[in-house]
Amino acid sequence: MITIEENLEPDKNWNNRLLQAGLGPMVQTAQMSTTYKIDGGSPRFLKFVDSNGNILGQLMLGVLPRFTNSSPRKILNKFPGIKKLVYTWVQGPIIFKSENTRDVFVSLQNYLLSKKSRVYGSTFPLCDFDKNFISKNFQIQEWATSLIDLRKPIDELYSNISKHSGQKNIKRAEKRGITIEEIDENNLFDYHCVKHDFRDRMNEETYDYQATLEWWRRIKPIGYSGFLARKEGKAISGILFSYFNNIIVEAGIARSLEDIQEKLYSQDLIKWKIIEWGKNNKMN
């Protein structure tokens, strides 16, 4: 029998369990819980514990008072209901042994049903889930992502990029004089400006630079970076990425109108630089 231990704060080994298991993305780390606080909600840290006290899995989720612009787009499940609270998470739960998948999901389902609220969540693509079992208890909406094995030779990684789009766009960006640099606090403001304008054009919530800087300083130490593209010295686009657990996950895409309208293809070049960075830093 599995019980769920629910806490408002993570225990001291929360991140260590993710690292020791070699599973789990940055979005499930303790540091990312502040995201839910920014949205006006509060985080919950769930541990799935068997009768012997062994922790079989864990999930960091947020309880939000309403729908927000940052609600996950990749939906695992939606329980009908008209309650105001929303229980939401990204890429979880993290289950340490696949044989415990069924028991953990039964416990999670019972927990969520007891809340009588709306639920939105997404699974971690590298976890081995029994999809057939999950579909009997959750309404599933399929979502796709690209997985790249960075342990392959760099030449093979490049050859796997489409010649008619990816490779051609990388060469186009280079011919157009696009330069790429890694993001740090010296150029973070330039990235912030491009991202701010990008979100504004998409009618999404924007943040001031101080909030961006504080967020960067909070998550940078556990594995976060990014690349910024310039055209004649002007910042035109950027991509951030996490590398917690030696797994690279792209995030924070930002594009200027100039990059889009002039077809500078800087995003393709940035993505290739991220792959090169991953190879050089022994990512998986």
Other CB atoms within a 10 A radius of the CB of residue 186 amount to 8
Q: Which of 61, 66, 57 is nearest to 45 (CA)?
A: 61
Determine the pLDDT at residue 124.
81
Tens-digit pLDDT string for the chain (284 aa): 899 999 999 999 999 999 988 877 899 999 999 888 877 889 999 999 999 999 999 999 999 986 554 444 333 444 444 447 899 999 899 999 888 988 998 899 899 989 888 888 888 877 666 666 666 666 667 665 677 889 999 999 999 998 888 999 999 999 999 999 999 999 999 999 999 999 999 898 888 999 999 999 999 999 999 999 999 999 999 999 999 999 898 988 999 999 999 999 999 999 999 999 999 999 98
Determine the pLDDT at residue 21.
85
The helix (H) or strand (E) run that includes residue 108 is helix 101-115
Determine the pLDDT at residue 38.
73
* Tokens matching residue 6: 């629910």
Q: How far apart are CA 80 and CA 64, in angstroms?
A: 16
Q: b/e string for 239-277 if b means 16 or more Cβ within 10 A?
A: bbbbbbbebbbeebebbbeebeeeebbbbbbbbbbbbeb
Determine the pLDDT at residue 162.
86
- Residue whose pair of structure tokens reads 């504004």 in the numeric block: 200
pTM above 0.75, yes or no: yes
* Tokens matching residue 49: 């514990």
Q: Are strands 224-231 and 178-182 parallel, antiparallel or unpaired?
A: antiparallel
**Helices and strands counted in the chain (H then E):** 10, 10
